[in-house]
Amino acid sequence: MLLQLKDVFLNDGSKLELDYSLPLGDVDINGDYPFKSPVSVAVQAVNRAGLVELRLNTVFDYTTRCDRCFDEITKHMELSFTHGLAVSLVDEENDDYIETPDYTLELDEVITSDILLNLPSKFLCREDCRGLCPDCGANLNRESCGCAKNAVDSRLEILKQLID
Ligand SMILES: [Zn+2]
Ligand SMILES: [Zn+2]
């Protein structure tokens, strides 16, 4: 969506608000398409004493795999972002500001990169996920496979032999 910001830029104290949904179903993260439903975005552009600030509040479901047990999980996420807007940038290196030539801003790109840069690098199905057994691959959240117990038993066995 192309945001028209001329009125906001030219009128101190003015504000533009809108809600829209951004489909990110095509976004491919390591072969997965985690955005099964569109991202809901609340957009606010505010002119405060001549400085225009863009506030984005995004709400979405993110489908991925647990980093430990590899079960598919869907996490409800809410991420907020704030950017300063400037019609032309004095300092190109300053990442705090986004340039908006002709008072327009291509919102989809801004929101997509904000979300992708701020996703956690790991997701767990739950904080205390027990993961998979390194020996037999059993999902330890659902079953106890006995491998760890057997390992302890054989160590005890060796101890016994030592004592004898
Ligand atoms: Zn898990
Ligand atoms: Zn096992």
* Ligand (nearest to CA of 138): 2
Question: Ligand 1 centroid vs 138 CA: distance in angstroms?
Answer: 12
Is it the case that residue 94 has pLDDT exceeding 70?
A: no
Question: How much is the pTM?
Answer: 0.81
Q: What is the DSSP letter of 88?
A: S
* Ligand (nearest to CA of 130): 1
Please tell me the predicted confidence (pLDDT) of residue 93.
67
For the chain, helix (H) and strand (E) counts, in that order, are: 3, 7
Compute the average pLDDT of residues 75-88. Answer: 93
Nearest-angstrom CA–CA distance, 154 and 44 = 64
Question: Ligand 2 centroid vs 75 CA: distance in angstroms?
Answer: 28
Is it the case that residue 95 has pLDDT exceeding 70?
A: no
Nearest-angstrom CA–CA distance, 82 and 103 = 18
For strand 104-106 and strand 97-99, is the pairing parallel, antiparallel, or unpaired?
unpaired
pLDDT confidence bin for 124, thresholds 50/70/90: very high
* Domain locations along the chain: 2-129, 131-164
Question: Ligand 2 centroid vs 143 CA: distance in angstroms?
Answer: 9
* Burial of 136 per CB tally in 10 Å (0-12, 13-18, 19+): exposed
Question: Ligand 2 centroid vs 154 CA: distance in angstroms?
Answer: 15
Please tell me the predicted confidence (pLDDT) of residue 158.
72
Taking only the tens place, the pLDDT of each residue in 105-121 is: 999 999 999 999 999 98
Q: Which residues surround ligand 2, an ion (CB under 5 A)?
A: 133, 135-136, 138, 145, 147
